[in-house]
Amino acid sequence: MLWYILVGVICLAAGLILGFLIARKYMMNYLKKNPPINENMLRVMMAQMGQHPSQKKINQMMKAINHQTK
């Protein structure tokens, strides 16, 4: 009886770990292919805040965002 419980607990732990790793890998690939913020979104957000950024400022902010996500 103890053997069945032990096998069940081991299988549950292995399933949880494997499921977490697969979900993490999937999300990392998804975010790499579909970044949450691009230059156009950044430009629109800054315009909504009343700012008119130059291309240099946009590039600096995109570089900072990309640096943080890595």
- Answer yes or no: do 20 and 42 share one domain: no
- Answer yes or no: do 49 and 29 share one domain: no
Contact at 8 Å (CB) between 42 and 58? yes
- Answer yes or no: do 30 and 40 share one domain: no
- Answer yes or no: do 41 and 16 share one domain: no
Q: Give the domain range for residue 48.
A: 36-70
Number of structural domains in the chain: 2
Does the pLDDT of residue 5 top 90, yes or no?
yes
Question: For the segment 43-65, what is each residue's pLDDT rounded down to a tens digit?
Answer: 999 999 998 889 999 999 989 98
Residue in 46, 40, 38, 47 with CA at minimum distance from that of residue 66: 38
- Answer yes or no: do 22 and 45 share one domain: no
- Answer yes or no: do 26 and 46 share one domain: no
- Answer yes or no: do 24 and 50 share one domain: no
Question: For the segment 6-46, what is each residue's pLDDT rounded down to a tens digit?
Answer: 999 999 999 999 999 999 999 999 988 887 888 889 999 99
